[in-house]
Amino acid sequence: MKKIIIPVITLLTVACYNNSESEVLGRNGLCRKLSPCIEDAFAYYIKHEDNPDTSTIYLMEFLVGEPGFPQDDTLILFCACCNRQLADGIKGIMTIGEYKVLVFDKQNVGNKFYNVDSLVDIDLDRLCLPSSENLINCYAFVLDGDSNLYLLGCQPDDFVPIKIDRE
């Protein structure tokens, strides 16, 4: 009887361990799927969307060295996704809250803000996206050194710089 109970207990312990969540960022060394500052920036973008829709796929793109910006400025762009916007550099898709978000990072500058292992691979050719440009309402955030994210362009009254909290 002992020979049966010990393997069963071991199997149950391993099975329970594998189902545990590992989205906690902090001192224990585990990584979360997305930095809280990016979640806050996306939440701000969704809050100001005219018609946010959980069936719409959104785009998050990390860019550096864009014309008109210093070489080391990192831009983080959020848009409702349509076929005309898709470019090289797709890393995968993730869920932020209730929303599906395609992650683009051709230059690997955003890898401090998301965990690549948490992204799901996706075949863009099989993804059905609207082609209408009417869906395009983008927000761009710029990384100010290593301390804050600022909304690019006019600062609405309700915008507060988003603290970058990398641990």
Cα 134 to Cα 163: distance, rounded to the nearest angstrom: 32
Nearby residues of 48 by Cβ (< 8 Å), 6 or more positions away: 139, 156
pLDDT tens track for 56-97: 889 999 988 877 666 667 889 998 887 656 667 889 999 999
Residue 141 has pLDDT above 70, yes or no: yes
pLDDT cut 90: percent of the chain above it:
25
Of 72, 77, 97, 99, which Cα lies nearest the Cα of 87?
77
Residue 4 has pLDDT above 70, yes or no: no
Beta bridge partners of 139: 78
**How many CA atoms, within 13 angstroms, populate the side-chain half-sphere of residue 139?**
22
Cα 52 to Cα 1: distance, rounded to the nearest angstrom: 59
φ, ψ at 90 (rounded to 5°) = -70, 130
Q: Where are the beta strands (DSSP E) in the chain?
A: 57-64, 74-80, 90-96, 99-104, 139-144, 148-151, 162-163
Q: What is the pLDDT of residue 83?
A: 66
Which has more pLDDT, 2 or 146?
146
pLDDT tens track for 19-34: 333 333 333 334 568 9
Of 67, 61, 73, which Cα lies nearest the Cα of 108?
61
Lowest mean pLDDT among 15-24, 43-52, 60-69, 129-138: 15-24
Q: What is the pLDDT of residue 133?
A: 55
Q: What is the pLDDT of residue 87?
A: 63
